[in-house]
């Protein structure tokens, strides 16, 4: 993709997603994620009705008058976008590939955070950490994130979500709002998710295509595994083959929902032919 075409794509996504974040998500994002921490503001003299647990005993001892610590809601937050760039994200049978929907959702979330004057960072992962952009503020920073989401070419097509959560825990020491965008056709990440969710406010956004859920009966079909590149002949006429695939897929979906729910993390399911606007808005309102 040449520079002119890339800039055109970035601008197109900016116009669409910024309008959504300005008119729809800005207020919802703020009301959902505000007040995640309190920061010290000042000390003042105790008044009737104040919480005695906030008494500053040092100042009280010096002045012989009871004083309390006043705290304010900590407005500035950090959003981390964790995006799966493995081979399976290139699948799509509707109008868009999964990775195109993921890019739009990530951009919308980033602009919503920008409206709140928050920092935004990015982790692109496959079975390794492909790219890490530390959190920063501002429109130009968000546009850089969008550019990477559009044109980044991963070294690997495989997936290791556990490694991504391990990296998050190592690199982000302060609490962050984390959105993980993937199809979550993976397992063995529950423990690393639990550790990360103990510190961060995590939401998993599962983006999928309806035709991934089951294999249609089409006879003998040559299929390619997007993550390994392996070509195999599959007898889709076999009921057992179709059942085994459905069982495999459902196990991965159930593992995702169970792992996130039990870790205290949020869950969003979004099919590529559904409105991600309604999905995000509904989630923000339920949490707000």
Beta carbons of 14 and 108 less than 8 angstroms apart: no
Percent of the chain whose pLDDT exceeds 70: 88
pTM: 0.79
Residues 50 and 124 both lie in one domain: no
Residue of 134, 149, 28, 145 lying closest to 78 (CA atoms): 134
Q: Which two tokens stand for residue 128?
A: 């390794």
Residues 59 and 125 placed together within one structural domain of the fold: no
Count of structural domains within the chain: 2
What pLDDT shows up at residue 77? Answer: 84
Tally helices (H) and strands (E) across the chain: 9, 10
Q: Are 152 and 123 in contact (CB under 8 A)?
A: no
CB-count exposure of residue 57 (10 Å: 0-12, 13-18, 19+): exposed
Which of 32-41, 201-210, 238-247 shows the lowest mean pLDDT across its residues? 32-41
Looking at the DSSP bridge assignments, the partners of residue 73 are 38
Per-residue confidence at 128, pLDDT binned at 50, 70, 90?
very high
CA distance 259 to 191: 9
> Are 131 and 213 in a shared domain?
yes
Single residue among 21, 49, 73 that ends a domain in this structure: 73
Q: Which of 31, 20, 181 is nearest to 108 (CA)?
A: 20
Residue-range definition of the domain harbouring residue 177: 3-32+76-287
Residue 16 sits in a domain of what CATH number? Answer: 3.40.50.410
């Amino acid at each position: 993709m040449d520079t002119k075409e890339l800039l055109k794509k970035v601008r197109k996504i900016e116009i669409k997603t910024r309008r959504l974040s300005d008119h729809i998500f800005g207020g919802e994002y703020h009301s959902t994620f505000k007040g995640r921490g309190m920061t010290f503001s000042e000390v003042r003299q105790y008044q009737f009705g104040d919480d005695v647990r906030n008494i500053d005993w040092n100042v009280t001892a010096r002045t012989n008058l009871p004083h309390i610590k006043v705290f304010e809601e900590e407005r500035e937050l950090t959003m981390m976008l964790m995006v799966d760039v493995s081979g399976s994200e290139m699948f799509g049978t509707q109008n868009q590939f999964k990775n195109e929907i993921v890019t739009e959702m990530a951009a919308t979330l980033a602009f919503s955070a920008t409206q709140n004057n928050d920092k935004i960072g990015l982790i692109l992962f496959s079975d390794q950490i492909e790219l890490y952009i530390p959190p920063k503020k501002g429109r130009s920073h968000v546009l850089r994130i969008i550019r990477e989401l559009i044109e980044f070419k991963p070294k690997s097509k495989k997936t290791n979500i556990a490694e991504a959560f391990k990296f998050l825990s190592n690199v982000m020491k302060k609490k962050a709002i984390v959105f993980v965008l993937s199809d979550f056709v993976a397992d063995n990440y529950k423990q690393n998710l639990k550790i990360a969710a103990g510190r961060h406010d995590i939401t998993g956004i599962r983006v999928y295509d309806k035709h991934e859920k089951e294999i249609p009966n089409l006879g003998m079909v040559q299929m390619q595994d997007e993550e390994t590149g392996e070509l195999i002949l599959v007898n889709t006429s076999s009921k057992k083959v179709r059942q085994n695939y459905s069982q495999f897929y459902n196990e991965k979906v159930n593992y995702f929902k169970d792992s996130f729910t039990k870790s205290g993390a949020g869950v969003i399911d979004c099919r590529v032919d559904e409105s991600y606007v309604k999905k995000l808005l509904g989630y923000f309102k339920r949490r707000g």
